[in-house]
Amino acid sequence: MENGDEKITEQSPSPETSHRAPNRSPVAVGNEVSEAEKGAAARERIDNLTDQLKRALAETENARKRANAARAEGREQGVAVAIAALIPAFDALALGIETARTDPGCGDPRIAQHLEGLRHIRDVFETGLKALGVRIIAPKDTPFDPALHEALQMQETAETAPGQILILHRPGFALNQRLIRPAHVTVSASPAAEPEAG
């Protein structure tokens, strides 16, 4: 070429070189590893937050259950205290009914009417107690249970097996598993052995 210019010819890439994978610089590879690590860290963070959320929800549910149990216990305690205060009135009502029932003049229409009124009051009283969840313990011809009954006296008898309730003096009261007052009873006992004739 004239004027000392050199002619530069462009060579087309050979088929062999055109199919080669482009070279990746170390910087690009490093960036790919960094992105993978970021993704793993993000997933770990999500897992941790999910676990914390589950724990928080479980703690909230447990706190709610404890609060409900405390409210129920407080209500039950309040009802038990109120019933204990009303028991003497119930005993007096039962005594009035028994007195009117055994009065020699119980055939008198006025006494009979009075007795009927007392029984109605007792029925209303018992209905109210049951509505509050109170159970009246009035055993009869059943085995003595120290968890529910209080023996005021023992009575020897050969007609009933030992440990049976013979007489109910005063009923007991219970609220769920809470005993407010045990039933006062007389319990059967085996007759004493007669001394042998000498």
The CATH code of the domain that includes 169 is 2.30.22.10
| In the block, residue with structure tokens 């004493």 | 192
| Any domain includes 9 | no
pTM beyond 0.85: the answer is no
Q: pLDDT at position 44, please?
A: 87
Count of structural domains, the chain: 1
Low-confidence ranges of the chain (pLDDT < 50): 1-2, 4, 6, 8, 17-18, 21, 25, 27-29
Domain contains 184: yes
Residue 173 CA to residue 87 CA, distance in Å, equals 9
pLDDT value of residue 152: 95
Residue 143 within a domain? yes
Pairing mode, strands 172-175 and 178-181 = antiparallel
- Whether residue 34 lies inside any domain: the answer is no
151 found inside a domain: yes
Residue 168, in any domain of the structure: yes
For residue 180, is it within any domain?
Answer: yes
Residue range of the domain that includes 155: 135-191
Kindly state whether residue 47 falls inside one of the protein's structural domains: no
